[in-house]
Chains A and B, each alone.
Chain A
Amino acid sequence: MTQIKALSAAVSAVLLSASAMAVDFHGYARAGMSTTDDGGEQTCYGSGGAGHLAGRLADECDTYVELQFGQELYNQGGKKFRVEFMPVFTSENDFQGNSAQWNSTYNNPANSDNDGEVNAWRGGDWSMRQAYAAAEGVVGFAPEATLWAGKRFYQRKDIHIMDWYYLNNSGYGVGLENIELGAGKLSVAWINMDQHVSDGTVDYSNDIVQNNKLDVRYSGIQLWEGASLEVAAIYGWADLTETQDDAGYDDEDGYFLTAEITHGLMGGFNKIVVQYAADSMGDSAYDNHGGESTLSTPWWGGSKESSFRIIDWGVVNLGEKIELGYSFMYAAAETFDDTLAEDEPTRMSVVFRPMYKWDDVMKTTLEVGYTEEDDVSSGDSNDLSKIVVAQEWSAGPSFWSRPSIRLYAGAFFGDQAEARDDDGNLRIGAQMEAWW
């Protein structure tokens, strides 16, 4: 009997240690093939960095893979320690791996540095986009809060169907998250951003200026039944070295403000976002990944001195079988250089993605989008519209179910498409998108 007991104790010890040692493997990935009426690969009007102002479906020409490895290292007595790592691969769909393996000496014209490597294996980049530790229950005055440091995606907010991050202050930093304070939760973070200074009043090409961002967020302010408000304020300033200071580098500072109302709507949700940005952060309420950059000196005269943006987006159920993702965005800005052809550019975007669910696996998805924006150099306003239909097979019945394997057909129209000789050009393709 003692043996049995010892054995069962050993077995449970093994099981428990297995539990504590478990590595959570999460991730995101997309990749696909395409062709068009004109032949060749499709051209894409957006990207992960620039977003997709007419919607992302049938507009993704890249391979993008996030691999996330997390582990809870300790969880006892209310104290938790956790580490997260995320190596990320990205490449355009050209000259990589399997597409040219048969000829190992083939030189990829996209490579400027022919250093004799097997070029078929080139074409992509890796980055450790997250590497941080988080601890809960370690700060005396706020045991509920999470203390973190390292490099991370910090409380990002995005419109999925546009790949548009309207609030993304990510990078190297330190912070304390979710401090219970009054009616809501307070999060405070300090995040760095490095800038290559190659333009501005003084041109010290390729020198790096560090900029700092103080990020304060207060979430969970209840407004009415089922609705809440979150406010975010980011203040950015240049952190010049003494040498840089003596040399007269610009040291612009600025700020970025966000107010977001979230409310439940038709089995889903709707978000109303209002943002304002100025000075060193003047681009933030105009471009994708707002809150990421604070510029000690503007990139060029067309950088925004101030910007304003209003967004309404959501995902709702239109019935048992139909889900709809939608977004409306309008942004207006003023450039630093007021002699440009258009020094007060505007940008608008409307995207609808209704989805009919045949069953738990198969869906028919339509995505229509329209965008129009001013070119500051020429003063022209350029539009782009899109219509795409896709048949999707995904693991689960929800709009959010992934992985999804999709076959699509569609076309782009308008000024931006004409400029690429792609107006009305039929494109077809197959893409996978996964998160897990």
Chain B
Amino acid sequence: MTRNKFSLVATGFLAASLFLGSVAPAAAYDEPSASELVSSLSQTNDCCASIAEFSFQPMAIDGIVDLMIDANSPAYSFPSGKSYFAAIKLPDNVPTFSVYIKSRAKKSVFAPAALLLDANRQPVRVIPAAAARYTPAEMLDYDSLDLSFTIERSYLDNPKTEYYMVILTTPADMAGQTQMIHPAKLAAERSNTVPPDIADPIARHSPGGLINVELRSGTVESNADFLSRIGNTVNSWFGVEEAPFQQATQGVQVTGSEATAGGMSVVPVQPASGGDLQRSPTPGMQTPVARPAAVDMLPETEAFYNQLITTKVDDGDIDAAMRLVEEAERAGSKTARSAFVDAVKSLK
């Protein structure tokens, strides 16, 4: 190549890269300050008199939304404590689908819990933040705390079918933190070299953060391939890869019919034997099987269940209260039954 031609090519090359470079750099994510949100939350009044009065944002099946939970979000004093929240109206008239909540972790992270309500906006189910799993950053996916669960729609006449979802956190969860994985360690792992022996970054739990919610047809199990896109499993060929780090276990879920301990494989677990079969929320799966391994329930989740149970008993809805007891016990509660008994006794 002659000098002139080369200079021309080289200049064009650099100009092209600068031009490519100047095209709309994406806005960086400015996460809300956790400590500022703690103080603003304490000064914020409840948005509404009851959960039923929340303003629910509708979402369609296969929809994806980013929700910023910050000082502009509504707050409410839930039985589990005060929290900013996002309220979503789940789609009607669609078959069973799954919910994926990804909460972005940077210096802080919103530890997401989900409260599911029936058509009358009464609580049916709580998925505690303890069920959320950390997924390390991979390529363009950020570090995140992920929650995934199935919304059962096989029996639409079931009065406990879930139509509303509230994404919240609890004061106890806000006091926690999530240990992430340093990107240099993951890179070393992939390069077959020894990861540097350094402390991993910590995301303190915050009253707010950026939440990505996706609704997808089918159950969490049937969407396992989809999960592999979300997580760090893009490189699996013939199935769903186990995440390389134990903390990164995906798709752990706690549902009415299924309760798995963190880190266990996602095995559909059926209702415990000896219980009242008529009360099983999924009549198709009534055969007695072994109970799942005990799950350590967070004290605030336990308190939340107990509060719900007491409220149901006070309302005279013993059946609902009993189901909550069963569900709480499946999820690891040790005090739900005594809370129920106490509530019944105090009815006199």
Contacts and interface: CB of A to CB of B under 8 A. Distances in A.
A271 B196 contact: yes
B17 interface: yes
Contacts of A120: none
A72 interface: yes
Contacts of A361: 26, 140
A269 interface: yes
B239 A22 contact: yes
Interface in A34-73: 35-37, 39, 68, 72
A16 B137 contact: no
A416 interface: no
A122 interface: no
B156 interface: no
Q: Which of A158, A220, A230 has the most CB of B within 10 A?
A: A158
A395 B139 contact: yes
Nearest to B244: A24
Interface in B1-52: 1-3, 6, 9-10, 13-14, 16-18, 20-21, 25-26, 28
B235 A359 contact: no
Nearest to B232: A436
A432 interface: no
A351 interface: no
A407 to B, nearest CB: 5
Nearest to B266: A15
Contacts of A26: 190, 235
Nearest to A17: B239
A409 B15 CA distance: 12
Nearest to B137: A396
B197 A23 contact: no
B239 A358 contact: no
A28 B190 contact: yes
B199 interface: yes
A413 interface: no
A398 interface: yes
B196 to A, nearest CB: 5
Interface string B197-214: 111010000000000000
B139 A269 contact: no
A426 B10 contact: yes
A244 interface: no
A36 B3 CA distance: 10
Interface stretch (A4-12, A92-100, A204-212): A4-12
Interface in B278-295: 283-287
A8 B266 CA distance: 13
A428 to B, nearest CB: 5
B67 interface: no
B91 interface: no
A268 interface: yes
B59 to A, nearest CB: 26
Given A22-B237, A39-B1, A391-B21, A156 B197 contact: no
Interface string B122-134: 0000000000000
A103 interface: no
B6 A35 contact: yes
B221 interface: yes
Contacts of B235: 24-26, 436
Nearest to A217: B194
Contacts of A160: 187, 191
Given A160-B191, A428-B9, A23 B238 contact: yes
A228 B197 contact: yes
Contact of B183 (A5, A220, A226, A400): A400
Contacts of B140: 360-361, 395-396
Contacts of A275: none
Residue from the set A75, A130, A262 with the largest chain B CB neighbour count within 10 Å = A262
A294 B306 CA distance: 68
B193 A359 contact: no
B236 A362 contact: no
Interface in A299-317: 315
B241 interface: yes
Nearest to B283: A1
A435 interface: yes
Nearest to B13: A428
B296 interface: no
Contacts of A315: 184
A428 B222 CA distance: 49
Interface string A345-368: 000000000000011111010000
Contacts of B16: 407
B298 interface: no
A142 B18 CA distance: 56
Contacts of B88: none
Contacts of B284: 1, 4-5, 8
B224 A15 contact: yes
Nearest to B2: A39
Nearest to B201: A267
Contacts of A400: 183-184, 186-187
Contact of B6 (A228, A263, A267, A426): A426
Nearest to B267: A12
A155 B194 contact: yes
A262 B25 contact: no
Contacts of A385: none
A155 B17 CA distance: 38
Most buried by A among B28, B198, B221, B238: B198
A409 B7 CA distance: 11
A29 to B, nearest CB: 12
Given A15-B221, A158-B193, A269 B184 contact: yes
A70 to B, nearest CB: 10
A428 B10 contact: yes
B242 interface: yes
A155 B25 CA distance: 39
A37 B224 CA distance: 52
Contacts of A22: 236-242
A158 B193 CA distance: 7
A72 B242 contact: yes
11 contacts: A18-B238, A25-B235, A28-B191, A35-B1, A39-B6, A155-B194, A157-B194, A361-B140, A398-B187, A409-B13, A428-B10
Which 8 pairs, one residue from A and one from B, show the smallest C-beta to C-beta distance? A18-B239, A400-B187, A391-B17, A395-B139, A22-B239, A359-B25, A153-B192, A398-B183
Given A19-B265, A156-B192, A395-B139, 14 more contacts: A4-B285, A12-B221, A15-B221, A15-B240, A22-B237, A22-B242, A25-B237, A35-B6, A75-B242, A155-B194, A269-B184, A360-B140, A396-B139, A407-B17
